[in-house]
Amino acid sequence: MFEKKVEKKLTSVLFVCLGNICRSPTAEAIFRHKAAHAGLAIHIDSAGTLGAHIGTSPDKRSRAVGEERGYDFKKIKCRKVEVRDFERFDYVVAMDKDNVRNLLDICPQEYQQKIALMMSFCDAQEMEIPDPYYGGKRGFEYVLDLIELASDGLIEQIKVRFARP
């Protein structure tokens, strides 16, 4: 007579870089676009291990290069990683090894398995997404190329891991 309603939790991904102004917001914009096109409902966010840019928009160069490829940065605001993020997100995806070390320093032991390098989701020689902040447009384009590649791999992993029978 009465049916128990089971609330399904959305799969969630947090992308992390140092300042949350270049790489991680780019990953958020790309992954949001790719997840939507794959028909996946995923909670996606980004943050930085450094809190110097809280509340600001991502770097204008990241936005410009990303928008040229059709990615939307309008609702993205920079924020700092919080300890509660490790409980809230299924994946905490770092852009480089320094980000991983910084995350492990604040992450409770029981959630450390959620931390991964972005490039671990694809077969590429690069293991890290380089910080394009001090470079030119080509550096930002290269970062986009790497994030697009790794995002495809992460999408496939999520499809397999969270497949509903």
Instruction: Compare 160 and 23 and report the one with higher pLDDT.
Output: 23
Provide the strand spans (E) within the chain.
Answer: 11-17, 42-48, 91-94, 115-117
51 is a domain residue: yes
Does the annotation count 23 as an active-site position? yes
157 is a domain residue: yes
39 is a domain residue: yes
Domain that holds residue 44: 11-161
Is the per-residue pLDDT at 22 higher than 80? yes
Global pTM value: 0.94
Q: What is the pLDDT of residue 147?
A: 99
Q: What is the pLDDT of residue 9?
A: 75
Identify the H or E element spanning 105: helix 97-106
1 is a domain residue: no
Q: What is the pLDDT of residue 7?
A: 47
Shortest CA distance to 54 belongs to which of 29, 89, 25, 96? 25
Does the annotation count 131 as an active-site position? yes
99 is a domain residue: yes
Q: What is the pLDDT of residue 110?
A: 98
SS3 content of the chain, % helix, strand, coil (to 5): 45, 15, 40
Catalytic residue, candidates 45, 85, 96, 131: 131
Please count the structural domains in the chain. Answer: 1
5 is a domain residue: no
CATH value at residue 28: 3.40.50.2300
Catalytic residue, candidates 23, 32, 63, 79: 23
Q: What is the pLDDT of residue 4?
A: 45
Shortest CA distance to 47 belongs to which of 9, 6, 88? 88
What mean pLDDT do residues 149-156 have?
Answer: 98
Does the annotation count 79 as an active-site position? no
